[in-house]
């Protein structure tokens, strides 16, 4: 028992001893080793103040600084800075710092008249001027030379004690050196500020931007960053890298960094709208399948597009501004597809990780009876085991393989989702199948009707009746929704004249344009001796609304207030008020063959010339944008300034959503210009000839001269080359 007690007491004594030693260790300050990083200036006369930078200067003990063995007076002592006075009678040699048993050498100090004592400012970008103070800068033999980090700087002005020099391009951080008559003196290091790049270069409020460069402060508050004048929040800071967040309400413009009141300006940051997802294909499928995401405002840099499926990040394989591709990893389960482009997020449709999936549908639109091919994965090779529905309506499956199904669109076809079911699995097509295509309302190349190949304008009234003008028959035809054709006003025998009257008793000269107001009154432009605007009431009564126009009238449109705008070829657009008062809207070239358009604000849009590939815009108030949309010839969708059209554009119209529709007849296309996003897309690209059917099948002639819409959004084409009126159904 005594041995046990003795052992316990020894154990306690040992623990107490360790505890005391531990406490002592915690109380003893950690000493910073003595070290010298740099000093300045490195030359001067006796009495020159020299600054030594380093660490450990405040450790316990007396500090002594010597110049070539001679002690110097210490003026200021801090842990990282020593300021000393060069000995009056010292000689050139090493500066040494001694602290107790520690010793460190700073470098050689030269006794001479030439000395760089200080300069201001101590940081900044290339091109800024720094004022270098010192002595001995003058020389009778050769001018002084200034170097910043070893790179020659341009001297703006110089005296014996002051030099103003310009910081050279790409100087980098380093000492400021002055050379005179073979002698050299260096001062402190100049901190060179530069922005070498930003990433990303596009985005919006909240986007995290990495600014690369040099000369930044390591402390967040030391860096003041702005985007085109709007202050930004600095999230991370290092000497060569800053991470900042784009502020709200910012506009496109340069990124700038201010450090110690010195500003460095970098490249422009471009504000782009939020990304939009227009399509994801497939919406279901197994691992290894390639997914395509289409839309607007994606980044061309793959790493700037972050795609997640049900929260799982899926790397982007390739990227353009409108299309992303990636490979499905599998195991994502069921969940939304989300996309973040430079921190601008958007949510897309739901994806299902399963064996059954639809990659594409060809054609993507059509009418009842259209043969449709589905490409995908996981289909049954037994046709009857694949249940295909168009907006809930079953369709007949004609053939099937594991990757393809051929089906006939049902008789009661309506627009909606296209779905394939196999046993317990269900797959949805990437886009809704649209009951869309082209049918002929009246006429055709093999028919003999009142419709001719000299028709040159059309308009649709509130009841769906189509009115057509014919330049060689000098009349206005009426085509009912069921295709019945009659002469509504003017001669039924091709006789010309300028006669008011009702129906076929009236006479017209050459008719150029037609428009219908909300009350179904028709206005036509007439090239005659006095150049007229004629009015036709809903009952067919013809009167002369305005006569004696100075120049030949062309196309005619109406704005929301009932004002008329009439094209005049090389004389711009004429404005005619409801009381028939006339004024010139603007001068310039305006096509007489392409119907202009006017938006709700009163801005006019027009085809400039038959031999050009772009449209112009007249802003309500006077400004003209001659090349508002389009750039050159071709067929290319995309931003307004990159979109390509062919010559001979026809009817411009605004749809119910405020988008402009353009008949790009030489491309056999109907194009859409989204004024909000300033992007062009193709609504339908048809072929040349005469055929009804889906957009992939339908054809019209090169001499399709006008386009109109009804209140349901259907589009009508005046296919003069086929002597027909065609209806384009979009939904």
Across the chain, mean pLDDT equals 92
Q: How many residues does the chain have?
A: 731
Distance of CA 230 to the CA centre of its chain: 20
Place of tokens 């996003």: 677
Structural domains in the chain plus CATH codes = 35-111 (2.60.40.10), 115-192 (2.60.40.10), 194-271 (2.60.40.10), 276-353 (2.60.40.10), 357-435 (2.60.40.10), 438-729 (2.120.10.30)
Confidence of residue 609 (pLDDT cuts 50, 70, 90): confident
Tokens read off for 244: 């900042």
Task: Please give the Cα distance from 167 to 149 (Å, whole number).
Answer: 10
- The tens digit of pLDDT for each residue in 261-277 reads 999 999 999 999 999 99
At residue 14, does pLDDT exceed 80?
Answer: no
pLDDT of residue 524: 98
- The tens digit of pLDDT for each residue in 509-528 reads 999 999 999 999 999 999 99
Mean pLDDT of 366-395: 95
pTM of the model: 0.68
CB of 370 closer than 8 Å to CB of 693: yes
At residue 158, does pLDDT exceed 80?
Answer: yes
At residue 18, does pLDDT exceed 60?
Answer: no
Ordered strands of the 63-67 beta sheet: 43-44, 102-111, 93-99, 63-67, 70-71
At residue 4, does pLDDT exceed 80?
Answer: no
At residue 453, does pLDDT exceed 70?
Answer: yes
Q: How many CA atoms lie within 13 A of 277 on its CB side?
A: 24
pLDDT of residue 30: 56
At residue 3, does pLDDT exceed 70?
Answer: no
Percent of the chain with pLDDT over 70: 96
pLDDT of residue 11: 37
At residue 10, does pLDDT exceed 80?
Answer: no
Task: Please give the Cα distance from 219 to 94 (Å, whole number).
Answer: 34
CB of 702 closer than 8 Å to CB of 709: no
pLDDT of residue 77: 93
CB of 315 closer than 8 Å to CB of 290: no
At residue 82, does pLDDT exceed 70?
Answer: yes
Listed range (17-21, 195-199, 204-208, 313-317) with the worst mean pLDDT = 17-21
Task: Please give the Cα distance from 644 to 635 (Å, whole number).
Answer: 5
Confidence of residue 60 (pLDDT cuts 50, 70, 90): confident
Mean pLDDT of 140-150: 91
pLDDT of residue 140: 76
SS3 assignment, position 482: coil
Mean pLDDT of 240-247: 97
pLDDT of residue 622: 76
Listed range (52-56, 89-93, 110-114, 151-155) with the worst mean pLDDT = 89-93
At residue 21, does pLDDT exceed 70?
Answer: no
For 128, the enclosing helix (H) or strand (E) is none
Contacts of residue 269, defined as CB under 8 A and 6 or more positions apart, other chains included, come to: 198, 201, 202, 203, 209, 227, 228, 246, 250, 252, 253, 254, 255
Mean pLDDT of 568-583: 92
- The tens digit of pLDDT for each residue in 191-240 reads 999 999 999 999 999 999 999 999 999 999 999 999 999 999 999 999 99
pLDDT of residue 25: 40
- The tens digit of pLDDT for each residue in 83-131 reads 999 999 888 999 999 998 899 999 999 999 999 999 999 999 999 999 9
Confidence of residue 29 (pLDDT cuts 50, 70, 90): low
Mean pLDDT of 34-63: 92
Task: Please give the Cα distance from 593 to 526 (Å, whole number).
Answer: 14
pLDDT of residue 412: 92
Mean pLDDT of 725-730: 92
Task: Please give the Cα distance from 141 to 615 (Å, whole number).
Answer: 68
pLDDT of residue 582: 94
**Of 118, 115, 149, nearest in space to 131 by CA:** 118
| 3-class SS letters over 654-701 | ECCCCCEEEEEHHHCEEEEEECCCCEEEEEEECEECCECECCCCCEEC
pLDDT of residue 1: 37
CB of 701 closer than 8 Å to CB of 687: no
- Its sign, for the CA torsion 403, 408, 412, 414, is positive
Mean pLDDT of 458-475: 96
pLDDT of residue 19: 44
């Amino acid at each position: 028992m005594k041995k046990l007690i003795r052992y316990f007491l020894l154990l306690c004594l040992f623990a107490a001893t360790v505890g005391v030693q531990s406490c002592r260790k915690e109380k003893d300050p950690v000493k910073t080793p003595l070290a010298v990083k740099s000093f300045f200036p490195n030359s001067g006369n006796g009495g020159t103040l020299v600054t030594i930078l380093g660490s450990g200067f405040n450790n316990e003990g007396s500090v002594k600084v010597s110049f070539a063995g001679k002690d110097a007076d210490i003026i200021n002592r801090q842990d990282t800075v020593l300021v000393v006075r060069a000995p009056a009678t010292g000689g050139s040699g090493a500066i040494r710092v001694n602290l107790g048993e520690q010793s460190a050498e700073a470098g050689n100090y030269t006794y001479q008249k030439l000395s760089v004592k200080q300069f201001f400012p101590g940081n900044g970008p290339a091109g800024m001027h720094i004022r270098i103070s010192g002595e001995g800068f003058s020389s009778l033999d050769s001018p002084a030379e200034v170097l910043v980090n070893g790179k020659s700087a341009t001297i703006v002005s110089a005296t014996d004690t002051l030099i103003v020099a310009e910081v050279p391009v790409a100087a980098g951080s380093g000492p400021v050196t002055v050379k005179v008559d073979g002698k050299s003196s260096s001062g402190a290091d100049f901190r060179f500020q530069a922005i070498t790049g930003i990433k990303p270069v596009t985005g919006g409020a909240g986007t995290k931007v990495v600014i690369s460069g040099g000369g930044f402060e390591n402390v967040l508050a030391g860096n003041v960053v702005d985007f085109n004048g709007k202050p930004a929040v600095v999230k991370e800071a290092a000497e060569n890298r800053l991470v900042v967040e784009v502020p709200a309400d910012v506009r496109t413009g340069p990124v700038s960094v201010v450090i110690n009141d010195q500003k460095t300006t970098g490249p422009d940051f471009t504000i782009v709208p939020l990304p939009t997802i227009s399509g994801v294909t497939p919406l279901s499928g197994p691992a290894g399948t390639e997914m395509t995401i289409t839309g607007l405002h994606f980044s061309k840099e793959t790493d700037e597009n972050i795609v997640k499926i049900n929260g799982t990040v899926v790397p982007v394989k390739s990227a353009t501004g409108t299309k992303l591709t990636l490979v499905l990893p599998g195991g994502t389960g069921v969940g939304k597809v989300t996309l973040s482009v430079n921190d601008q997020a958007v949510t897309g449709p739901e994806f299902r990780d399963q064996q059954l999936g639809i990659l594409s549908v060809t054609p993507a639109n059509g009418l009842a009876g259209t043969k449709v091919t589905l490409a995908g994965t996981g289909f049954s090779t037994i046709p009857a085991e694949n249940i295909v529905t168009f907006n809930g309506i079953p369709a007949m499956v004609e053939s099937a393989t594991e990757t393809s199904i051929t089906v006939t669109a049902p008789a009661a076809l309506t627009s909606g989702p296209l779905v394939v079911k196999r046993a317990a699995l269900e797959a949805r097509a990437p886009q809704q199948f649209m009951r869309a295509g082209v049918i002929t309302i009246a006429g055709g190349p093999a028919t003999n009707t009142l419709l001719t190949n000299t028709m040159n304008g059309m308009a649709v009234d509130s009841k769906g009746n189509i009115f057509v003008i014919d330049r060689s028959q000098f009349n206005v035809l009426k085509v009912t929704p069921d295709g019945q054709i009659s002469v509504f006003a003017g001669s039924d025998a091709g006789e010309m004249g300028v006669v008011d009257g009702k129906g076929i008793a009236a006479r017209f000269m050459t008719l150029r344009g037609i428009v219908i107001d909300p009350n179904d009154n028709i206005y036509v432009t007439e090239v005659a001796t006095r150049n007229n605007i004629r009015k036709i009431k809903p009952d067919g009564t013809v009167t002369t609304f305005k006569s004696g126009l100075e120049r030949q009238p062309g196309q005619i449109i109406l704005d929301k207030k009932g004002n008329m705008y009439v094209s005049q070829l090389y004389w711009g657009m004429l404005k005619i008020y409801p009381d028939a008062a006339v004024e010139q809207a603007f001068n310039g070239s305006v096509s007489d063959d392409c119907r202009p358009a006017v938006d709700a604000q009163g801005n006019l849009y027009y085809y400039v010339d038959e031999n050009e590939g772009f449209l112009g815009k007249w802003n309500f108030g006077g400004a003209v944008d001659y090349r508002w949309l389009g750039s050159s010839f071709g067929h290319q969708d995309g931003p307004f300034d990159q979109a390509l059209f062919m010559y001979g554009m026809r009817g411009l119209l605004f749809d119910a959503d405020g988008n402009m529709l353009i008949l790009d007849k030489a491309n056999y296309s109907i194009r859409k210009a989204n004024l909000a996003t300033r992007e062009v897309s193709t609504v339908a690209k048809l072929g040349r000839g005469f055929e009804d059917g889906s957009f992939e099948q339908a054809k019209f002639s090169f001499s399709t001269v006008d386009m109109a819409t009804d209140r349901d959004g259907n589009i009508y084409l005046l296919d003069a080359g086929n002597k027909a009126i065609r209806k384009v159904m979009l939904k």
